[in-house]
Amino acid sequence: MSIYINEKTGAMQLIVYGEPFAQERPRFSTFSGHVHAYDPKRSRAYKEKICAEAVHLMYKAKELGYQVPFDCPLQFALYIYRSIPKSFSKKKTQLAREHKIYAHTKPDADNYIKCVLDGIAHGKSKILFTDDSRIVSIRAIKLYDDTPRIEAWLKPI
């Protein structure tokens, strides 16, 4: 895991190594006659991993004088690097390493986006931004790489 802040542009990068994980469907249970929705264990664990790195990024941003959490329009970019499947041919593996082919299989990019944004926001904690509505631009791309990870960029406009 690593963090980076470009002091010229204000862009912040958060890298979380390991196989990317997409948001799963919520689970439901009944307690005392009331239905409760909750995150599956794996989704919750991945969000907590992202949250821990987002907290480090927040403290670094505050040290550099940024007013965090941001309460302004933000651009969000997410690069999802999934493991190269072992079933790929040598030629296809090389194209994947060069990022010339996309990971166009499930899970969907929007499920990755949701999981990462939930991890950064961490409920009502407001780690890097005050509300999801501050995100006005989103870009996401799914690729293959030898080092599976997610790279999330957040930039005030």
| pLDDT given at position 123 | 60
| pLDDT given at position 125 | 67
To the question of pTM greater than 0.85 for the whole model, the response is yes
The strands making up 149-156's β-sheet, listed across from edge to edge, are: 2-5, 12-17, 149-156, 74-83, 135-145
Determine the number of helices (DSSP H) and then strands (DSSP E) in the chain.
3, 7
What would the two tokens of residue 80 be? 């999802």
- Output the CATH code of domain 2-156: 3.30.1330.70
From first to last of its 157 residues, what are the pLDDT tens digits of the chain?
Answer: 688 888 888 899 999 999 999 988 878 888 888 888 878 888 889 888 998 888 888 889 888 888 888 888 999 999 999 999 999 999 999 999 999 999 999 999 999 999 999 888 876 667 888 888 889 999 999 999 999 999 999 999 8
